[in-house]
Structure 1
């Protein structure tokens, strides 16, 4: 059986890892500048002629790439705007110190929706990336 139904027993699945995920952005080139210069991610792939920008975490060279996907089709734009309007983060980034990252980013002009909060799941803060998304920072 395929899809989301339970699969076979042990050994029936291939070993996989997440290689790349994407986030829809209003302007991939501007998003690349923000995600690298402000947030501190590193360039993985840049092909401006194809609006292809992929960033990665600087401390995990073989980790997950983040594709800054153009939100230039009606379905992507509607989804992006709907998630933002509900106040939901499009993606969550981990950090060892949310409060320090909050202060660093705020000093750079990043707009947060509120001060960091702590609950049993950890400490979080949500900011607007200026590219159409809310981003959550999380610390265990």
Structure 2
């Protein structure tokens, strides 16, 4: 059986990403293993699931194609990934108080989840979503 155990987000600065993803978003640091050239195998997990899926904060430096891809998504306003939340309005309020920049406020389309996108300060928009019973 195939399972998602690791996924990644491209970041333009791993140390800045580590601070943002742990101190702002509330993830827990799982691994920070240096592997040369100033980069690390840097992963975080949901704070309440330390053995859950790991998110690799993957550096883009030195890979021109990754930099181009990341910048193109950001310029187009397209989130690089999405994270589920239990209460999107509470997370929006909490993160706003921490100074996180959002692209608008949470919106609920006629069908589908309630969503809002935030700037992770590392070159990406991240979408938060809440699946409602009616979605």
1:38 aligned partner: 24
Deviating runs (4+, > 3 A) in structure 1? Answer: none
1:130 aligned partner: 121
Gaps of at least 5 residues in structure 1 are 1-14
What whole-Å deviation, never above 9, does each CA across 1:11-60 have from its counterpart, x for those lacking one? xxxx1101111111010011001100110000110124642210001122
2:45 aligned partner: 56
2:59 aligned partner: 70
TM-score (norm 2): 0.89
Cα distance in 2 for residues equivalent to 1:114 and 1:35: 20
Secondary structure of 1:117's counterpart equals: coil
Contact 1:29 1:48 in 2 (8 A): no
Answer with 1 or 2: which has the greater Rg: 1
Aligned residues: 126
Contact 2:120 2:126 in 1 (8 A): yes
Cα distance in 2 for residues equivalent to 1:38 and 1:84: 20
- The Cα of 1:61 is off from its aligned counterpart by 2.4
